[in-house]
Amino acid sequence: MDLISRIGQHFTDSAQIKLEAGATLAGPIAQAAKLMTDCLVGNGKLLACGNGGSAADAQHFAAELVGRFEVERQGMSAIALTTDSSIMTAVANDYGYDQVFERQVRALGQAGDVLLAISTSGNSPSIVEAIRAAHDNDLHVVALTGKGGGKIAGILREGDIHICVPAKRTARIQEVHLLTVHCLCDAIDSLLLGVEA
């Protein structure tokens, strides 16, 4: 396959998985947006975490809410747990990397807050531990996964929302995760502000 065809195939595959995922994920994304909006209206906060590309998605999500997505509005209470290098390195050094988000969820999370936990494989130990901490502190959990959901699918509880991309390839899962982040931000704005397209 020549390079132009290879690149074109990426676009085709990305578009295809997004169309397929839209049919099954629109419902859980809408539920997650409603849960997050209710949290914000009740003066709660949204915490987000992930590793690698998923860390970038967590930061993107928080940035769109604290700043703005597509309309001017007040900033919303969202924190990416991936951004404080002193906390991350201290916890990783003193306790182990699996606890870098768990410690922050226990310290910052309060009952009624929402944790957005992102893992393309569903098996990231640091995300699994963050979800366990969220459950212990009575936070709601929205899990963004792929590849069948992995270990995360097995620890979610009733009331948690699982948005599992029906794909195996990491790049395709991450592309749908980014679209999901945008859908969540748009839906939250719509629910809070009555924003129309």
Binding-site residue set for substrate: 51-53, 64, 93-94, 119-121, 124, 174
Closest alpha carbon to 176 in 10, 1, 19, 7? 19
From CA 170, how far away is CA 190, in angstroms rounded?
30
Residue whose entry in the numeric block shows the structure tokens 């201290």: 90
Is residue 133 within 8 A of residue 55, CB to CB? The reply is no
Is residue 5 within 8 A of residue 153, CB to CB? The reply is no
Whole-number Cα distances in Å, 27 to 56, 59, 161, 163, 180: 24, 24, 10, 9, 12
* Beta strands in 3-156, from DSSP E residues, in sequence order: 46-49, 78-80, 114-118, 140-146
The binding site comprises 51-53, 60, 64, 93-94, 119-121, 124, 174, 182
**Dihedral sign, Cα of residue 117, residue 119, residue 121, residue 126:** negative
The binding site for Zn(2+) comprises 60, 64, 174, 182
